Amino acid sequence: MQLKNVRKFLDKKTMSKIGIYQRIILEHSKSPQNYKKLDKFTHYCEGNNPLCGDKVEIYTNIKNKKTNEITFQGKGCVISIASASILTRVLRKKTIQDSKIISENFIKMVENKKYDFNFLNENEKKLLMTFSEIKKFPMRFKCATMSWTTFNSAVRYVGYNNEV
């Protein structure tokens, strides 16, 4: 369905919100933030989606159970790259515990399940809510969530056995 046909079914407020979200996703995919290999990282993980070819590498530098630095490299669709870029913005300087909660809630939102972002600031909420419309496109769930599940895998053992 073309955008002009979609407009018939949506009110102006919804169309405005979708336009803002599309713009944010495009900005982060064209000029992803923190797109580089971190020189000194403590945790790393690779993720890929063999169905569409998306690949991501997450690099983190964790100290005192806090994400001091987080970057990524990869290739993929607009949604995949934008999601990884936004992940690095939102999770930077967060505790691992908070990062895991944010990540879980992001994945729930994408899968159209109950989620909670009330503990985040308005800018962080806005960035994450950019992906709220993905729930209408189940084939894109993996694109939006791959970097988040990859981050979770990278930091899975932080806090166990006196790890960082």
Report how far residue 119's alpha carbon sits from residue 124's, in angstroms, rounded to the nearest whole number.
10
Which of these ranges, 13-27, 75-89, 105-119, 138-152, has the smallest mean pLDDT? 13-27
Does the structure show a pLDDT above 50 at 129?
yes
* Type of residue numbered 137: F
Q: What is the CATH code for 32-154?
A: 3.90.1010.10
Sign of the CA dihedral running 115, 120, 121, 127: negative
Q: How confident is the model at residue 160 (pLDDT cuts 50, 70, 90)?
A: low
Does the structure show a pLDDT above 90 at 54?
yes
Average pLDDT, the chain: 86
Which of these ranges, 17-26, 74-83, 99-108, 145-154, has the smallest mean pLDDT? 17-26
